[in-house]
Structure 1
């Protein structure tokens, strides 16, 4: 069945397409269109189930009421939880969300930004990979509201929401040091993104402060667990002296726990464990895993609040906000000192 257009409705009812358009866009009263004609058009529209073309409407009104949300991996519990909370709040404010995964891939992210441009989204929320500074600058030049989260791009002047990554790993390492652990490893993704470099620095600062030697394994980001599990296995086999390890993300952490299980390493008797990004798996693991908890609800709330304020404000040129939130170290059984550790 052919999809009806405004022209088809106008021809069927023998009225002008301009009149039909005014009625469908809620401007009948403003244009002094008679009540009887309005009712006749609305009755026919209801009967045929006409739905306006949202893209065409956005071109007319300049608004699509859609927000583009781009995260590293929408299946990751951290990003999934934040996306859900943002979606709920956006919907209550009349906006819908289209979200997608960038896989930390620069080219894919650039293509997705172009796709969102084609859809005429009203604003962007992005956990940015490296190399898209120029693309975001172009959006900002065109007056598009952009809020970055989880990490920021130092050379891009826009609003961002993130946590205090440096203190988070510093605090986790200090906890292990205070428990008496001396050979503390750090396993993380290899990245020059702001959140990952800050986590690395926090770990190194804590060890340096206590005169301990850093033992680091950086892994190339990959969705395939096999490419994460293999280097962690090699690292743990090579460094038998380790008595504790900090995992830099929840993805690395869950892979690390699988390796620990498969190698028969006892936690915390053989190896104490702390991971970034607390979630259910870490609480359910036996023993329960000490983890750095990000304030997910607060992150989502700040991100969508900043974006909605930008969307609803006619004032441009307001100084961008840099919002940095605190984390919490949830101490559980995996990092408690045991009697056989000296």
Structure 2
């Protein structure tokens, strides 16, 4: 295997000091009054031999890696994938690259990923927080590493975050179903202590209480495999044949619901009306098209990366944190008409 060239190798080959090579490669030649002839000679040699700097070593020297760690529940989910892409584009325009991974909503995996990102000396963190990582986030903040959360947040940890009005969103969607004449409205969601899922459940409960209709709630464990999550949905619908409308807690559950309703020969919206939290382009193409609570993905991405860039570009780490709550849009389609 060919040995990777180092600054020392370049210096020895050109018979100059490694410090001079380092100054030239780091754009400090003029500051150090290094001749243009020598700069040209070094750059020409570097190009000829295909030298690439060690990014980890550079980050240790400069204190910056120009990378950002992004942790979400499931990067394959359309909501997270779209936000991640927009954050990546905005970060790149500002000189940063994104390293991202899926936590699977697992506390231990999240802790291991944070440790890995620390080893890579990432400059800041964007996190959809699972439960149980309070101390890990506090440790990052204590070490001067900025953290911005989105989708949810940790109430007991002081961080910047960007969320949507989850409680009003499900309250509004449930009220819409009530006003359409539905009385047996189910809420199918993930079993979770995360703020966003708690607030969505609370919004549903509030609307059902006001309408004096019974609550029909099914909470499902978050898993990566589909079948163990589809079966509880099927069992729940078979047990409650009176259900005439369903609000799903996110778009992945909505897709499970559509599969189950098809298998049970339930017509949408004639037998069961359906609303999904989180829109998905597939919902517009599905027949009938699916009513959805659409989150402002572009605004979420813009706010998240802009807050983090401000933290990265200022040395004044004051105690004031930004808490941004954005509005959603209820997109009415055929599944509720």
TM-score by length of 1: 0.97
Matched with 2:335 is: 334
* 3-state SS, counterpart of residue 324 of structure 2: strand
CA distance in 1, matches of 2:274, 2:72: 27
- Gap runs ≥5 in structure 2: none
Give the structure 1 partner of residue 298 of structure 2.
Answer: 297
Which consecutive residues of structure 1, in runs of 5 or more, have no partner in the other structure?
337-342
Q: Does 1:121 align with 2:122?
A: yes
User: Partner of 1:158 in structure 2?
Assistant: 159
What SS does structure 1 have at the residue aligned with 2:4?
A: coil
Matched, 1:259 2:225: no
Q: Is 2:35 the counterpart of 1:24?
A: no
- Mapped partners of 1:209, 1:173: distance in 2: 11
Other-structure match for 1:109: 110
CA RMSD of aligned residues (A): 0.7
- Partner SS for 1:188: strand
Quote the residue 2:61 is aligned against: 60
C-alpha separation in 2, matches of 1:187 and 1:41: 64
Q: Distance in 2 between matches of 1:270 and 1:202?
A: 24
Q: State the Cα deviation string for residues 134-153 of structure 1 (Å, max 9, x = none).
A: 00000000010100000000
SS in 2 for 1:100: strand
Residue 47 of structure 1, CA deviation:
0.4
Q: For 1:222-264, what per-residue CA distance to the aligned partner results, in whole angstroms no more than 9, with x for missing partners? A: 1111011100000010001111111111010001101011111
- 1:314: how far off? 1.8
Superposed CA offset, 1:104-131 (max 9, x none): 0000000000110010101000001000
Structure 1 segment 214-293 matched on structure 2, within 5 A: 214-293=215-294
Distance across 1 between alignment mates of 2:300 and 2:37: 50
Q: CA deviation at 1:36?
A: 1.4
Q: Secondary structure at the match of 2:155?
A: coil
Q: Distance in 1 between the 2:283 and 2:37 partners?
A: 64
Describe the superposition over 1:52-76 as per-residue Cα deviations: whole angstroms up to 9, x where unpaired.
1000000001111000000100000
Shift of 1:302: 0.5
Q: Which residue is equivalent to 1:176?
A: 177
Partner in structure 2 of residue 317 of structure 1: 318
Residues 3-33 of structure 1: CA distance to partner in whole angstroms, max 9, x if unpaired?
Answer: 1001111111111111111111111111111
Match of 1:74 in 2: 75
Report the Cα distance in structure 2 between the residues aligned to 1:307 and 1:172, rounded to whole angstroms.
32
Figure out how many residues of one structure are paired with residues of the other and give that number: 336
Give, in angstroms, the shift of residue 276 of structure 1: 0.5
Cα deviation, 1:68-116, whole Å, max 9, x if unaligned, reads: 0001000000000000000000000000001100000000000000110
Aligned 1:86-105 pairs, distance under 5 A: 86-105=87-106
Q: Within 5 Å, give how 1:122-137 maps onto structure 2.
A: 122-137=123-138
Residue 272 of structure 1 deviates from its aligned partner by 0.7
How many angstroms apart in 1 are the aligned matches of 2:301 and 2:43?
39
- In 1, the alpha carbon distance for the partners of 2:83 and 2:326 equals 14
Return the alpha-carbon distance in structure 1 between the equivalents of residues 261 and 214 of structure 2.
22
Which residue of the partner structure matches residue 193 of structure 1?
Answer: 194
1:339 alignment partner in structure 2? none
- Measured after TM superposition, the shift of residue 193 of structure 1 is 0.5
User: What is the distance in 1 between the residues matched to 2:5 and 2:333?
Assistant: 61
Shift, 1:35, TM fit? 1.6
Q: Secondary structure at the match of 1:125?
A: strand
TM-superposed CA distance for 1:318, in Å, is: 4.2
